Every structure is written in C-alpha cells, then in structure tokens.
Amino acid sequence: MTFTITATAVRRAARAGLPLAAALLLAGAAPATAGHSAGGNYLYLTVTKGDSHSSDTRGTLLLCDPPQGHGRAAEACAQLDAVGGDINALPAATDVYCPMVYAPVAARARGQWNGRPVEYQETFSNGCVMGARTGAVFALGS
C-alpha cells in the first residue's frame, strides 16, 4: 500500500481549521488508490482529550467509498449512511452506562457527505459519553 501526501489534501485540512501537523497527519493517513477521486463521502475526524492546559489530539481521514482510513471504517460509514451523514442524528446507545467523571473530550468532523458539506464539533464530559453518543464514528483508538 502506498501513502501519499498531496498539496490538495493539506490545503483542504488547512481550510478545515486544522494545524499544519494535523493536516500532514491526515493527508498521510489516506492511502493512494487507483481511481479514487476527491469526491464521495469523507470526513476529517479529530478527537482531543483533555482541557486547554494539557491535551492529546488524534485524527484520521475517514473515507467511505470504499470504507478505509479508520479502525472501524465500515461500521462508522454504515452508521453515517443511516443518518445521511448527520452526526447529530446518530442514535445514542441506550445500553451504555457511563461514569460521572469529568475528563473532557472534544470531537470534530469536517468533510462532505452526499455532496453536502459536513461540520460537527462537540465537547463531551468523557470518552464514554462520546462513544455512547457517536457510535463508531469517533472511535479512533480501535
């Protein structure tokens, strides 16, 4: 598998408001595939753990035509497809019980779904709450 970093990918990430290091990370996360165009359904996803004093940011490019670039890409793409790419419309898990521990996690997504721009940003009280609310979409650690 060949990984490429293109100027177009870096510019798109920069327009999405990502720092240069994240832009390079995200641009390098997408494997070069024959016939893959910039169209289709894709999201630049970032998850930042911590507060303004100390934070850890992880990110990836989720491609859904075909699913790739994410540890649970097929599941995340299926969940997004079911709600037309609207992350706010993802159904919350009803069988998850999260601790009442404050460990803030910020989730951010930018990209396009069915030709429409997608922008999402939300801060959750902890990772469990984020997972219960967003399913596999922001599960970047797996």
For residue range 1-58, list pLDDT tens digits in order. 333 344 455 455 556 555 554 545 545 544 443 334 456 899 999 999 987 666 789 9
Determine the Cα–Cα distance for residues 43 and 18; give it in Å rounded to an integer: 13
Residues 6+ apart with CB under 8 A from 39: 115
Sign of CA dihedral 84, 87, 90, 95: positive
Q: Is the pLDDT of residue 70 over 50?
A: yes
Give me the pLDDT at residue 18, please: 52
CATH number of 40-134: 3.30.350.10
Mean pLDDT for the chain overall: 80
Buried-state track 14-24, b at ≥16 Cβ within 10 A, e below 16: eebebeeebbe
- Determine if the peptide bond prior to 117 is cis (ω within 30°): no
Give me the pLDDT at residue 31, please: 44
Determine the Cα–Cα distance for residues 23 and 9; give it in Å rounded to an integer: 8
Average pLDDT over residues 70-82: 94
